A and B are shown apart, each in its own frame.
Chain A
Amino acid sequence: MSPNRPITPSTLSPKDLPWQIDWNKSKCTLCGQCTTVCPVKAIELGVFRKREVKTPIGLLTPPKNEYSIYYGIRQKTDPAFSCIGCGMCSMVCPNGAIMPLHNDEKDKLIFHKNIGGKPRTRGGRRNESDSVLDRIKFIRISMLTDPAMDAGRHEFNLNTLLGRVLPPEAGLKAFQKNGWVPPVREIYPLIIGGMSFGALSPNMWEGLQMGVAYLNEEMGMPVRISTGEGGCPPRLLRSRFLKYVILQVASGYFGWDEIIHAIPHMKEDPCAIEIKYGQGAKPGDGGLLLWHKVNKLIAAIRGVPSGVSLPSPPTHQTQYSIEESVAKMIQSMSMAWGFRVPVYPKISATSTAMAVLNNLTRNPYASGLAIDGEDGGTGAAYNVSMNHMGHPIASNIRDAYLNLAKLGKQNEIPIFAGGGIGKNGNLAANAAALIMLGASGVQIGKYIMQAAAGCLGSESDRCNVCNIGVCPKGITSQDPRLYRRLDPEKVAERVVETFLSFDTEIKKIIAPLGRSTSLPIGMSDALGISDKDTAERLAIKYVV
């Protein structure tokens, strides 16, 4: 280091960064693909000067310096350009000459990700790999007193209900009298949760929609997908595929002008309306679409000017109290579709969830409750919100179910769980655990991005740049140069593959438990965990 090189408090070395670039000079062909592909410009072409001291034998010729230069890859240490570990450089390198490696100790960058006084914002996940759901085991195995079912040969009924179900006596009475009953949809218990058109690229959205349509129409699986808060493309609103879609309305009401105007032209009712009050990844915070991603198309669908950031308020502005406003909003939405479409709120998991649930039990129009846990993902949020705000999903779902069981309403208001399902890849096991704790179904977001589109995010803060539109896979980018990397047809294929393999795996879980005729909602006697406190908290068995 030259003596006059300034050292500021935020001057870091590669060792201080979370990711270090390991570049191999002897393999590198200097093609430049890595520097081009790097979404955050963390690497650049470097010109290195090298001195070699030549010391001949004997004393007659004095030693001398020989200077040479060589070209290679240099990693930037400016916090604004630190490597995010996405590994695209290594993906494009023809010779395998470059790869990001994770620091073997906690990085120092974390202390400097606030240049200009702005705390870090990012997309992604909580970066915590521990999962209670992963630790839950299925312990009630049918063998001799009753034979296990055959996951491969027997017939299984895995569908679940979305909608307010009347108690048996009232339901049959309404049937006899031909009275109104709340709308109920029979759907597949694995739902693609709300990721907006805007947060996701057009190719990703199209791929997901195509995959869902294929699953419904060719595979006979009633899979549903939520739009997230960002409206819905006009053609989809007017197509027969709308019945596979859950339209989400959130505090920014983005896209709802378009939706309301499309109602008279709708060929089909949407599957349901989801009113988002909270998101597990950043509870108490609204949606956030940064200006990078608000291009003309997004702006048109959302009904906003392009190139401006779109932060949704943390709460619905019309809302004063749950008793009044939530009920009104549910009723207005129900009325808009002639009381033919289920309307349910989605909240972030919270210690106050029971108050919401208890209120919904008294509202005959509330069709369910979706609860999103702290492990949920997001396109954009403050780092602190993502890492530290929120409630784990398992105990929240369990409390909600037991609360309903106490009221005798466990079949009446379905609870849907979201947030961290399959975060370590164990999708079917996590989903089955939540269902047996009491969920009627689960919502996934990050998992489908990873499985269907190759999202690079992981629980060790890898990539996580969904917020600024530079997604190297083109999943969360609005830049055509990036999203053309993603072929919608291939995404659709992967969606279908993911659901089909989930279907087999979930059967492989419930068949040995002796279940096949209905989804084992609340079958907590099949669950065990090797931690006494967790077992007690979730009212499941403690097993070691």
Chain B
Amino acid sequence: MCRLFALTSQDPVSPMLAIKALDVMREGHDGSGVGLFLSGLSGPFEDLTDCPILSGIFTTAGIRRLDKYMMDHDFMTKYKTSTRIFTAPPSGTPKRDVYLARAYEKPEAWKNMPQEQQEEEMVRIRLELRRMGEEKHDMTVFSFWPDTIMIKELGDPLTIGNYLGLDRKDFNARIILAQGRQNTNYAINLYACHPFFIQGICTMTNGENTAFLPIKEFLESRKILGYEGYQSDSEVFTHILHFTLKRLGLGIEAYKHIINPLGDKQIEEHPDGPFLKRLKETCRKLIIDGPNCVIGCLPDKSLFMVQDSKKLRPGVVGGKPGIYAFSSEVCGLDAILPDRDTTKDIQPMHLDTVIVPPTREEIHICRQTDPLHLQH
């Protein structure tokens, strides 16, 4: 199993906080890897909200190829935090040349480009870099998006955190998603590590999506940019959410109606029954299966958690105005937010979507049986 920890805080905090929570929950993961998603960045990245940040791991040759590619496409480096480590890596972690997070100024040609097209372009560039990297094994690219840094590496989360110096101010963020990975396959591909990201939407999962193959085939056949190269059964959760928000124009409260639709009887009794029936029919191929707890971040920086339809995985949300955390286990919360009111902790059940909006004032619970706020 994997362990998840996410937090959203008014004041920027170090990702080491989330890693510490993973460490407290280490009985639940085998320390074979860690993945981080950072947003609401502070420090030098704070003022670069319009500059897409490229996150990834590069060889020295890869960096050169990257520079050439980006220059050819008229991108100017605004700020970078590259980590070159000369000490030997901890056991189980490969030696890498450069861990990179680099903010670029958009090309001149994008000035008059509509926002939507720019978003497409950023995905296209990330995919192209990924393909180039896969060809020569010199680049691994996790994200290319404003106000977003992603780090993924093999090894024990706490050891990796210290090794990469993640307590530096550069990495302080208001939104942090962290996953401690259990290695279920020996040859770990970093692209198979959570969290997964596309166009401002990020999710990570503790679980196993047994309906992966038909969902993957369905998403791939949508011919939507970015729905490709699946290395993990959990990656489809991110793309289903992307499909829900961007293609269907629905909100997060509809997400669970797509991945775990209500039973027919409940749909009949639901105030939005006819809509949900249509949604269930047309999105039938996106119904997930198996035990899953999904934690994610939306483009508006809301954090959410949903459970599978049988609530087979642990998950708890707690905190206080200004800071809230999502954790696989209560001990993770206790370690980071010991002074919260534990009676207000919420363990979402099979019908719940728990949302903490960017205001961070309170926790919203959206039950699947509640009416949807549909725009007519």
Contacts and interface: CB of A to CB of B under 8 A. Distances in A.
A172 B278 contact: yes
Contacts of A167: 282
Contacts of B250: 172
B208 A514 contact: yes
Contacts of A516: 289, 310
Given A145-B184, A154-B310, A522-B217, A411 B284 contact: yes
Interface string A166-181: 1111111001100001
Contacts of A184: 281
A517 B208 contact: no
Contacts of A175: 274-275, 278
A520 B278 contact: no
B9 to A, nearest CB: 32
B226 to A, nearest CB: 16
A166 B285 CA distance: 12
A146 B291 contact: yes
B247 A410 contact: no
A71 B313 CA distance: 77
A517 B287 contact: yes
B373 interface: no
Given A154-B310, A406-B221, A410-B221, A520 B214 contact: yes
Interface in A159-194: 159, 161, 165-172, 175-176, 181, 184, 186
Main secondary structure of the interface of A (DSSP, over half): loop
A142 B282 contact: no
B207 interface: yes
Contacts, number: 109
Main secondary structure of the interface of B (DSSP, over half): loop
A523 B208 contact: no
A184 B248 CA distance: 21
Nearest to A150: B310
Bin chain B's interface residue count.
35 or more
Contacts of B287: 517-518
Given A145-B184, A155-B263, A408-B222, A171 B213 contact: no
B264 interface: yes
B288 interface: yes
A521 interface: yes
A517 B217 contact: no
Contacts of A523: 210-211, 213-214
Nearest to B254: A172
Contacts of B288: 517
B290 A169 contact: no
B61 interface: no
Contacts of B275: 175
Contacts of B1: 145
B289 A168 contact: no
A518 B263 contact: no
A157 interface: yes
A525 B1 CA distance: 21
Given A142-B290, A146-B291, A524 B213 contact: yes
A405 B221 contact: yes
Nearest to B288: A517
Interface in B202-236: 207-208, 210-214, 217-218, 221-223
A518 B284 contact: yes
A167 B308 CA distance: 24
B210 A147 contact: no
A515 B213 contact: no
Contacts of A513: 210
A518 B248 contact: no
B283 interface: yes
B214 A522 contact: yes
Interface in B308-341: 308-310, 312
A186 B264 contact: yes
B182 to A, nearest CB: 8
A69 interface: no
Contact of A169 (B248, B285, B308): B248
Contacts of B264: 159, 186
Interface of B: 1, 184, 207-208, 210-214, 217-218, 221-223, 243, 247-248, 250, 260, 263-264, 274-275, 278-279, 281-291, 308-310, 312, 376
28 contacts: A140-B210, A142-B290, A146-B207, A146-B208, A146-B290, A147-B291, A157-B263, A161-B281, A161-B284, A170-B282, A171-B278, A172-B279, A172-B282, A186-B264, A405-B217, A405-B221, A409-B221, A410-B221, A411-B285, A514-B208, A514-B289, A514-B290, A514-B291, A517-B260, A517-B287, A517-B289, A517-B308, A518-B284
